[in-house]
Structure 1
């Protein structure tokens, strides 16, 4: 079959983008043909992919996205596809991979009433409605069980259109046999002594992921503990505001903000704790990547995959509503309790051996290739 995948932007280190790539490769491996429509592509193009850079521009995202939709629609009219799969909400999709949370819920619970009078709101609300409305025929691949009730609350979407997928953690994130040697090497590379504690935060979109919260918590540690700690934040985002915050908090020499990179496993193995105090997060793939690497996790309950951390007893999950003082306190407790960190690490590794947290792409490919118009 000819498959058409649509996403606004591809770069190698985004969670949505990695989900797309694994799924497209899984479909290609079954003998199907992959065509990709995108406005921007960064990184290598897999062999056999037809990647079309859609030539659209506009002063606002909604204008660019509307023009993208029109351009793709015209191209598909000339060169039809058997399935049209979207990783962003837009009209005329056969399949939508629900990587993003419910826009309408965020607009009504996190914004004031005037926001719903803006052009931005009208555009994104209409695009979400095109996917989830009762008369839509789009099949929905869900990766967060927390979101389905919200979509159904606002749109009345039928149960049978939802397909809940397991997570899709890459097997190369699991701790290898030489994990101890790799841990020692990365700590030596960054000049970390035996008693030093490395905190890790990973994810593009530093604001959404709560990097500001992490910096405040690091600054609040007791001096005798805080002086032993370093924080590495890794992701594709503008670091200026957060570097300024680190300087204002007196943390400039203890915080490194790094661009997205491909050797994340080394950092997962070299760190002592993953911090992920997100404001909102549909899933939080990095939580499970830390779990399977044996790295304890401290996160917030808004993350769709936070329940896995609780089920595995692989760290701590902060209840909502979020309180900075609670994060500060729990971080200090976790860093002071080395036996607990060893236990959480062992629990995560044991969970990785038996839980189905790897087959997202394969299960999604089953739905795509077995459903459609």
Structure 2
């Protein structure tokens, strides 16, 4: 049994939930996904059960969802419950976000909201909870450990999370000539940013630095927000920035670029970093990204240290441009390595759940 608040939100956590559900079903397990909303195309192969929750504020709905999931699990007698939300009492929890207790709450300081979220988190992570924890990165695990001092044996750090459709797309790159379609000059360098939430992913930071490199163009995929358009106009970059929706050929779009630009403000992992490396494209990212370590270990790009400084991004762009051939060679090597470990993260989740079911 898997539990996620809104499956149709279709963010990274929701895509991971669907992938885990399908992998478990392919292994022969009976899988049910509990949610409040599932208006998603292409999931007719999954067994979905919608739970009703009451309340107006989001934190109240999350609390009621947690209670409803536990009650449903008790009635159904499911062997194992994997939560993708903070649900105290779950057997396993997929940790898709950073620790709420370490968050800067200045903009989210309404006391009931903070109190509810922290209470759910504490009940899930702190002793005496025995919930098994799947972390996306070692840094994420360490941050939660510092906050809650849980038993280390509860934690599993997953291999890089990359979905099967990305691997399939990576083997057929070049189907779309994005440079020609976007009218990028032949002598121009092209950077790509994949950002459904452009502010969180630091696109404004990228635009501010782009002004200093007249040969550098940028394509931003995933958002058509007024905020993004205002920043492009503010920096007088209308001729060098292309804004496109999140497209199914996103791997082709990434591969068309010389490098990815991802100076995010917050990023628990950053699957787009993995997708770029899978496509053989180096990445310039902020140290706030959980997968920043993958860039450093592979040599396929550069990492801007925290706290973020504009000058560091400007200098990072200069270094990236100067060493681009070597960076692209390192990214190509990392791509080959990633292909050899296709599906490793799904196997790690499934095998842990299977052991838990056997012990139940």
Q: Which residue of 1 aligns with 2:275?
A: 289
Within 5 Å, give how 1:154-233 maps onto structure 2. 154-174=147-167, 176=170, 179=173, 181-182=174-175, 185-219=177-211, 221=212, 225-226=213-214, 228-233=215-220
Structure 1 window deviating more from structure 2 (131-140 vs 142-151): it is 142-151
**Residues 364 and 230 (structure 1), Cα distance of their counterparts in 2 relative to 1, 3 Å cut:** same
Say how many residue pairs are matched: 355
1:96 corresponds to which of 90, 93, 97: 93
**Residues 178 and 66 (structure 1), Cα distance of their counterparts in 2 relative to 1, 3 Å cut:** closer
Within 5 Å, give how 1:29-48 maps onto structure 2. 29-48=26-45
For residue 16 of structure 2, give the secondary structure of its aligned residue in structure 1.
Answer: helix
- Quick check: 1:234 aligned with 2:221? yes
For residue 207 of structure 1, give the secondary structure of its aligned residue in structure 2.
Answer: coil
- Residue 6 of structure 1 deviates from its aligned partner by 1.1
- Quick check: 1:307 aligned with 2:293? yes
**Residues 104 and 21 (structure 1), Cα distance of their counterparts in 2 relative to 1, 3 Å cut:** same
Q: Which residue of 2 aligns with 1:348?
A: 331
Between the aligned partners of 2:82 and 2:22, the Cα distance in structure 1 is: 14
Unaligned runs of 5+ in 2: none
Structure 1 window deviating more from structure 2 (75-84 vs 318-327): it is 75-84
Post-superposition CA distance 1:301-327 (Å, at most 9, x none): 121111111111101111122101211
TM-score, structure 1 length as denominator? 0.87
For residue 371 of structure 1, give the secondary structure of its aligned residue in structure 2.
Answer: helix
- Quick check: 1:10 aligned with 2:10? no
TM-score, structure 2 length as denominator? 0.90
Between the aligned partners of 1:178 and 1:81, the Cα distance in structure 2 is: 40
- Of structures 1 and 2, the one scoring higher in RCO (CA 8 A, sep 6+) is 1
Post-superposition CA distance 1:245-274 (Å, at most 9, x none): 211111234333333232111101111120
Post-superposition CA distance 1:193-242 (Å, at most 9, x none): 311222211133222211221121123x1xxx42x33322222x561212
For residue 199 of structure 1, give the secondary structure of its aligned residue in structure 2.
Answer: strand
Alignment RMSD? 2.4
- Residue 345 of structure 1 deviates from its aligned partner by 1.6
Between the aligned partners of 1:350 and 1:35, the Cα distance in structure 2 is: 39
- Residue 95 of structure 1 deviates from its aligned partner by 0.6
Structure 1 window deviating more from structure 2 (326-335 vs 135-144): it is 326-335
